Amino acid sequence: MAWEGELRRIDSCRWEIPEGTVPGMLTNAVVYASEDMLSKIREDNAPMQAANVACLPGIVGSSMAMPDIHWGYGFPIGGAAAVDAESGSISPGGIGFDINCGVRLIRTGLTAEDLDGKMDALMDALYANIPSGLGSKGLTRVGHRELEEILAYGSKWAVENGFGIPDDLNATEEGGCMPESDASKVSDKARKRGLAQLGSLGSGNHFLEVDVVDSVFDDTAARCFGLKEGEVTVTVHCGSRGCGHQIATDYLQQMESYVKSVGLALPDRQLACAPLDSKLGDDYYKAMSCGANYAWANRQMITHWVRESFESVMGVSAESMGMKVVYDVAHNIAKKEHHDYDGSGIDVLVHRKGATRAFAAGRSEVPLMYRDVGQPVIIPGDMSVGTYVLKGLPGSMESTFGTACHGAGRVMSRKAAEKAVTAGQIESDMRNRGIVLRRGSDEGLVEEAPVAYKDVDTVVSVVCEAGLAGKVARLRPIGVVKG
């Protein structure tokens, strides 16, 4: 089913779905895209979901869709919406099942030449030390007491237990911990699913990538982020695994019942929500915060094993190499934030689902070391082309409650990808590009084929032209681990 409704041009990279297009809309929806992207966006019918989000009780400003928009659960992936922090509602569909799926960027202090003749050994070590694939389990077993602390403290627990260094926390959104968490709001089933999976990538679009800084566009920001042309970095993309998925499932069921009980008219049952000031809404926010903390602990532990893998191959310590976290960003989360809106300040809850916070210079939430240039924004493309590093700009604060895209975004379903390409073709193409590949299964590889994704150059160009973020550097992959 394709979107046949209106997409009214605002400018070269913004398109409006007017209020009233879908019954119950409380505001308009704005889609960020180039004109060339519109046909595929319409084909996916994700604009319908962006319009539906405009019906969310308490929404402030527009329903927003980034250029990586594609069909999701309730909200489109690439969608964002702010609601009033007092009178608004919270919707698990606006966060996603993989709570705090996000990206962490690590600089290594090495050059590509340092890895000559060692890439196969390095990729073998990374693949062995960091479990990946469907149902993968972490190497470290934690008990119920430790899991309670992980849900409460996130990355802080990991660092305090030897999985990293304090500086890692300074380079992580929220310091790697949502303090509003309350583990008593997380079900036994969610806890059980999380116990065995801590420190693993999982499957789907999750990955670990070894890159080289291929291009620098902003010397000042790149220097501030510690990125130098020719140096090696590592990008980690994963989330809260089964723990977060179960938290979302548990509360969606409760919210669907709530919506029916109060007779709330929503255009899609997948937008099920509850008022923030209700017990159900507050319980979910606290449980979602636990899921976010689990994800940050997960990426923190993976960072530890990335360092150990490099140490085993290079024969020197991670500290002496200069392996440091550049930044860790969440792109499936809801955050309570203060923003300027319509001439005054307002407290809002910003849902970001497949969308990344992109705060400009000066915001107190940006780590002090980056506050003069803006928050690092990490945007992966498909596995064959690598990742962009951007910085948040004032335009995001003015237009999108400090939000930008989160990646290239799918343009083809997983089933369609399976029909379009074979695992052998992908392996051959990666080899020809000089990329060393390690993967869990043929099926998982094909589902995430490069052809299934939008052109990340185009996606990034849109958010930059719109003034939401600015290019800092581009990273070229030389090694990929796929789940």
Instruction: Give pLDDT tens digits for 75-110.
Output: 999 999 999 999 999 999 999 999 999 999 999 999
Name which of 385, 421, 406, 405 is nearest 463 in CA terms.
405
Residue 161: per-residue pLDDT: 95
Residue 144: per-residue pLDDT: 87
Per-residue CA distances from 434 to 75, 127, 439, 455 (Å): 37, 18, 16, 20
Residue 196: per-residue pLDDT: 85
Residue 242: per-residue pLDDT: 94
- Are the C-beta atoms of residues 271 and 52 closer than 8 Å to each other? yes
Residue 202: per-residue pLDDT: 82
CA–CA gap between residue 472 and residue 447 (Å, rounded): 30
Residue 470: per-residue pLDDT: 98
Residue 141: per-residue pLDDT: 67
Residue 137: per-residue pLDDT: 53
| Tens digit of each residue's pLDDT (9 = 90 or more) over 375-401 | 999 999 999 999 999 999 999 999 999
Residue 204: per-residue pLDDT: 78
CA–CA gap between residue 66 and residue 83 (Å, rounded): 18
Residue 96, number of CB atoms within 10 A of its CB: 27
Residue 19: per-residue pLDDT: 98
Interstrand relation of 29-32 and 59-70 (parallel, antiparallel or unpaired): parallel
pLDDT, block means (10 residues), the chain with 483 residues: 93 97 97 96 96 98 98 97 97 98 98 96 94 57 87 97 96 97 97 89 88 98 98 97 97 98 96 98 98 97 96 97 98 98 96 98 97 98 96 98 97 91 95 94 91 96 98 98 85
CA–CA gap between residue 46 and residue 458 (Å, rounded): 18
Whole-structure pTM value: 0.96
Helix 144-153 × helix 279-314 angle, to 10°:
100
Residue 136: per-residue pLDDT: 55
Which amino acids are annotated catalytic?
Answer: 406
Per-residue CA distances from 379 to 149, 175, 393, 404, 455 (Å): 30, 20, 15, 9, 12
Q: Please give the backbone phi and psi of residue 356, each rounded to the nearest 5 degrees, phi first.
A: -115, 135
Residue 235: per-residue pLDDT: 98
CA–CA gap between residue 132 and residue 123 (Å, rounded): 13
Interstrand relation of 469-482 and 436-439 (parallel, antiparallel or unpaired): parallel
Residue 27, number of CB atoms within 10 A of its CB: 17
Q: Please give the backbone phi and psi of residue 140, each rounded to the nearest 5 degrees, phi first.
A: -105, 125
Residue 99: per-residue pLDDT: 98
Per-residue CA distances from 139 to 131, 304, 403, 432, 483 (Å): 7, 12, 35, 33, 15
